[in-house]
Structure 1
């Protein structure tokens, strides 16, 4: 009953806030401030966001500075954009994104996702790469719905595009230092400018984040043993413009992160509900396992453009590398000692020996201002992933003894040819269509090795291969009702390539996931460009939807294809300048998702949890029917709002406050439904208040994140007991910033 009330409250607040903002519009003050034009690259060319026939949202650099205060990782995007969710069972790495409810909960090291992360026009395929720190970033764009024509496979839900600040020939930069709770330190800065006037420029950007642990291990007696980290990243860019026609940007970057892995906590969920048990404290855990995590990555890309007469040739060549190790106590406690019932000790680790990714894109695009705009190109992707799953002593007297190592090597090759054309039939009506042909091939070899032997266990070498070719397409119409009000309709297809899962000797595979999406929307700048209201309604169907049956009694991941899945709903993005010096935003989304496969059963939880689906027993396995269930990690309602108010002091100074709030309704953690394994509906808020001096050149502020100190589950482990991991407690601190 409580969750239903919270969900209903979220709906009412969402609608009421939007209505109140618009009803207040006639009383707007008469000052000259207007909303700035937002430029996006959703169609791989710079365009006004209001003129793009795609549901797209942009998160600005100023908003990012507030959302990421205190060293937050990229998961801060969760619910900050309508229809976008994010979570991770790894902590500061391996984020999993969901757009319009479509995503993938698989935590295996070669897992694919239907949401792609594009960083400086380079696709970062493996989830471990998607956790690269967000710093010195100009903007983040979220494209909702299939983007297969221009961005390729594995984008049927959408993409998240991150654009770093590029070098210019003017000297500029910034520096920032923050200090916060648990001795959190964040030092970040960038400097750039001309090396050779009008020919060569550079920009160097650095970020360092560290924090002490704040979780005591009550079993060993160690204080502040877990949830600490040290994360350093950097980027160097060179801009080369020897002629007016040729431009090249060389980007090199790295990351080195070490700390503790996610803390799993046994029996923290109250049976029969998703409440935390009475007396639960986020500052204490009881574990006999090791808890370590390291990630090291590096990469480089060259983006070169040559301007012919009316045509631009673009080449993007990129290489990315990452290795990582993460070890955690997945039983969440100590066998025979608790907390609660922990039947046996088991630890596991995920190790990436190395992932090498190479991509090459060649694109030819029109650059004139005529009614016809077109682009065509070739794309190549090659990835080699060498990784291992390690198990430790479930039955051994030495619970830290390594028992098996499952080494896997996966090779993935993809190539594609694509094209898109837009034509303005009239001054008001523009049609856009695109087509892409893709071939995708994967091979995987898995060798299970008994620790210390160095040789595969007899019969444990497994192999798998997948191959597919697909055509993705989209068709859109954009109509300008007035100079400030536009409408669009869009039909688009996309697919997620076949997947291989090497969790056990019996390798599982899944066929391609195919998505067909239909959407219509209105984009409007109102009230003399003091209000911006963008609305989109959508419906999509997924054929052969890829799912991962995670956990169950066997603690095994199994790939499967559901016959069909559907999603439908709407999104609203609203910005408003109601009075002088006040900026408001409101976003909301409704996503209804449903699995449609009457024959599909998955392993259900043990440990005394309460399964709500029909159950059948096969041998010793309890299996739940998931027909009619929502997609996992797909909250039905998302709501977010921000407000910034500044009070001028003198001619160039300002006292300001910024607050942001987000709401997510409840969401399942797994494919089956249970009383325990789903998140609670909750609000998360933040606040920053400060003084900006000399036109914002100097800034001193205080911040707080999770201002109400909300506590609840972010995810769970269902094979052993009522084990979960939680959202972070309240953080706070101060920040000093200078720009030049």
Structure 2
């Protein structure tokens, strides 16, 4: 049973009432209009294709035009932040190494071998290392965000949830495709397209390509007087390709082959020395976000490739699936100025720090066999086995900012092997009641070692090994209140295997023990007004035992893992979509996420120059008991509206989308300067669709209010920070054939 304090119940109830009351006029308009029915949204949250209303999980799907609008300006995967309830995405590495948070639960670890409690699954293959999670979004059929533990059917490191991508697949019988080109501020160019080619009556091929470019536009000056231009930064060049082959002979067998690759190069994250005004969380006086002062090299490059093979056999009473995946990183290097300035400033900089993080080689192999029943009766089931093998080598360099010479290097290797067996069943008790349950056993082993050191005297042992096994389960019930309204309840557990952080000159190899979660959720999902609107609302409560937390900075450039005795989370989520009329379509979402670390024994080093608001212990360290998790906004709200009218032989439309989040903490401790201010970002698109829907031309804007906020920081040297993306205006042309 979900337990909440009276205060939180009142807060959630009050905001729920506000949302409900605000929706009444809209609901009345929907009920009275001649709006068309909404198309049924199907998801694969339970590894089967189902109506989203029937799935007893808090899930949001992004598809079609809404997804196309979000990616129109060439943004990377971080664009998903705040676009659905309870989801945040951020990175201190720019377009690579994204970090995901669901219901406030994530991981700020920037270690090359970091694990995350939010799993990213692309075309049924888990992308475990954070470097793999940044594959660009193009020619994608859907993005599903599954909130809460998914430890039975998806299993691997999913205690917070899953973000699931599914590419458009090849089709037999017809040559078709699309092409898309946009140009925007700072000479940003995005070009992508796909073509589906039937090769025979049994074979089809789909080729999807993407190219992205942005000019370096942030001017870098060699001194604080800004008298001499050195170079410019914050541009990128990226391209990615995906080729798929479908074999469908029309019988019981089906095969889908997927080969893909990505290459990107450009600027690493731009850190800015003393960006934050002392005693506040606003920009320092005189800040110019189109310029920077740094004496270090800044660049980033990445090459990845992979393939997967999905096979299925229809055996009559059951269907058998085999999913084989391979992912490879051949080169990743990110180098930047950690002190974010020069000896002359801006502001006070105690010492110079320039580092580079890299992955020289990563191979990930996965294999899953799954069988599911096809019964027309009340009982259905699925079961399978899963194998994971990762071998990764990477490390960190330090440099002399004046000469550019490398001063030290530490290289580590991690081998991670895991296997699991799982089963899940659904039983329809009667037309009103359906129950589901699942169980999964996981065995996870890691071997970690330092393989090379240069000018580093490593503290502690040079290698560690961990091993952990765990049984997870979930149980849910759905009650059909009416033909179009479902109530559900769900209890679930999750598990994240022990994590290892590489050593540095001042910190030994650290290991965080495995973490577990118990989660309880109640919700309602409904189709309304003759299916011209749909809504969902859920409340949840979870407890994480031994949560893995990352201690960064404080008084040196370190990354260290610890475990918190307990973390509590509770909140609510709301989704709504409606066709108000044949011309107007709207959507809205909101989430309330309350998190709290509960461990009176935990303390961390404090920042070098900030104003700490937490208590200090006798050793002068910051006590973090009672603090919220980092990067966990209390409230997020999103909304879209589309209005279209016939014009000549096509449709003229306006589309706008908005997201808002409240303040966030950057670190485990609370400090005035390292609290991110609330952020509102809006998009606007005006377009014309013509040629019987084949062509579209549009003008668009992203972050149209140009609201700039400090979204992350480095705390051990000065008041260094980095920001969200600037406003962007552009034009786009898209064609279908």
Query: What TM-score, normalized by structure 1, do the two folds share?
Result: 0.95
Residues 17, 431 of structure 1: alpha-carbon distance in 2 compared, 3 angstrom cutoff: closer
Residue 408 of structure 1: which of 412, 429, 435 is its match?
Answer: 412
2:552 is matched with 550
1:483 is matched with 483
Deviation at 1:32, TM superposition (A): 4.7
Question: Would the aligned equivalents of 1:516 and 1:542 in 2 still touch at CA under 8 Å?
Answer: yes
- CA deviation vs aligned residue, 1:354-411 (integer Å, no higher than 9, x gap): 11000000001012322111000000000001001111137xxx45221111100000
Q: Hey, what's the Cα distance between the residues in 1 that align with 2:542 and 2:555?
A: 33
Question: Would the aligned equivalents of 2:611 and 2:671 in 1 still touch at CA under 8 Å?
Answer: yes
Residues 599, 367 of structure 1: alpha-carbon distance in 2 compared, 3 angstrom cutoff: same
1:268 is matched with 275
Residue 376 of structure 1: which of 343, 368, 383 is its match?
Answer: 383
Residues 9, 495 of structure 1: alpha-carbon distance in 2 compared, 3 angstrom cutoff: closer
Q: What SS is found at the alignment partner of 1:65?
A: helix
Q: What SS is found at the alignment partner of 1:62?
A: helix
Aligned length: 719
Q: Hey, what's the Cα distance between the residues in 1 that align with 2:405 and 2:205?
A: 50
Q: Residue 707 in 1 paired to residue 704 in 2?
A: yes
Q: Residue 286 in 1 paired to residue 293 in 2?
A: yes
Q: Hey, what's the Cα distance between the residues in 2 that align with 1:501 and 1:126?
A: 13
Runs of at least 5 residues in structure 2 that lack an aligned partner in the other structure: 1-9
1:185 is matched with 189
Q: Hey, what's the Cα distance between the residues in 2 that align with 1:385 and 1:133?
A: 22
Q: What SS is found at the alignment partner of 1:26?
A: helix
- CA deviation vs aligned residue, 1:261-302 (integer Å, no higher than 9, x gap): 000000010111101112211101000000010010000000
Residue 570 of structure 2: which of 560, 568, 572 is its match?
Answer: 568
Q: What SS is found at the alignment partner of 1:376?
A: strand
Alignment of 1:31-180 (within 5 A): 31-169=34-172, 170-180=174-184
2:211 is matched with 208
2:474 is matched with 474
Q: Hey, what's the Cα distance between the residues in 1 that align with 2:241 and 2:171?
A: 18
Q: Residue 630 in 1 paired to residue 628 in 2?
A: yes
2:588 is matched with 586
Deviation at 1:326, TM superposition (A): 0.2
Q: Residue 244 in 1 paired to residue 246 in 2?
A: no
Q: Hey, what's the Cα distance between the residues in 2 that align with 1:10 and 1:429?
A: 28
- CA deviation vs aligned residue, 1:659-709 (integer Å, no higher than 9, x gap): 000000001000000001021112110001111102321000001000000
Q: Hey, what's the Cα distance between the residues in 2 that align with 1:659 and 1:9?
A: 29
Q: Residue 717 in 1 paired to residue 714 in 2?
A: yes
1:614 is matched with 615
Residue 329 of structure 1: which of 329, 334, 337 is its match?
Answer: 337
Q: Hey, what's the Cα distance between the residues in 2 that align with 1:691 and 1:459?
A: 63
1:3 is matched with none
Question: Would the aligned equivalents of 1:328 and 1:348 in 2 still touch at CA under 8 Å?
Answer: yes
Question: Would the aligned equivalents of 2:222 and 2:230 in 1 still touch at CA under 8 Å?
Answer: no
Residues 577, 32 of structure 1: alpha-carbon distance in 2 compared, 3 angstrom cutoff: closer
Question: Would the aligned equivalents of 1:375 and 1:420 in 2 still touch at CA under 8 Å?
Answer: yes
1:495 is matched with 495
Question: Would the aligned equivalents of 1:350 and 1:389 in 2 still touch at CA under 8 Å?
Answer: yes
Q: Hey, what's the Cα distance between the residues in 2 that align with 1:677 and 1:524?
A: 41
Deviation at 1:461, TM superposition (A): 6.4
Question: Would the aligned equivalents of 1:10 and 1:637 in 2 still touch at CA under 8 Å?
Answer: no
Q: Residue 195 in 1 paired to residue 203 in 2?
A: no
1:685 is matched with 682
- CA deviation vs aligned residue, 1:204-228 (integer Å, no higher than 9, x gap): 0000000101110011744761110
1:639 is matched with 637
Deviation at 1:42, TM superposition (A): 0.3
Query: What TM-score, normalized by structure 2, do the two folds share?
Result: 0.95
Q: What SS is found at the alignment partner of 1:542?
A: strand
- CA deviation vs aligned residue, 1:8-49 (integer Å, no higher than 9, x gap): 999999865553233332233432501110010001010000
Q: What SS is found at the alignment partner of 1:528?
A: coil
Q: Hey, what's the Cα distance between the residues in 2 that align with 1:712 and 1:26?
A: 38
Question: Would the aligned equivalents of 1:448 and 1:460 in 2 still touch at CA under 8 Å?
Answer: no
Q: Residue 541 in 1 paired to residue 543 in 2?
A: yes
Question: Would the aligned equivalents of 1:11 and 1:637 in 2 still touch at CA under 8 Å?
Answer: no
Deviation at 1:303, TM superposition (A): 0.2
- CA deviation vs aligned residue, 1:692-740 (integer Å, no higher than 9, x gap): 1023210000010000000111100000000000111101110000012
Alignment of 1:333-372 (within 5 A): 333-335=341-343, 337-372=344-379
- CA deviation vs aligned residue, 1:180-202 (integer Å, no higher than 9, x gap): 111111111000031002x0000
Runs of at least 5 residues in structure 1 that lack an aligned partner in the other structure: 1-7
2:603 is matched with 601
Residue 732 of structure 2: which of 729, 732, 735 is its match?
Answer: 735
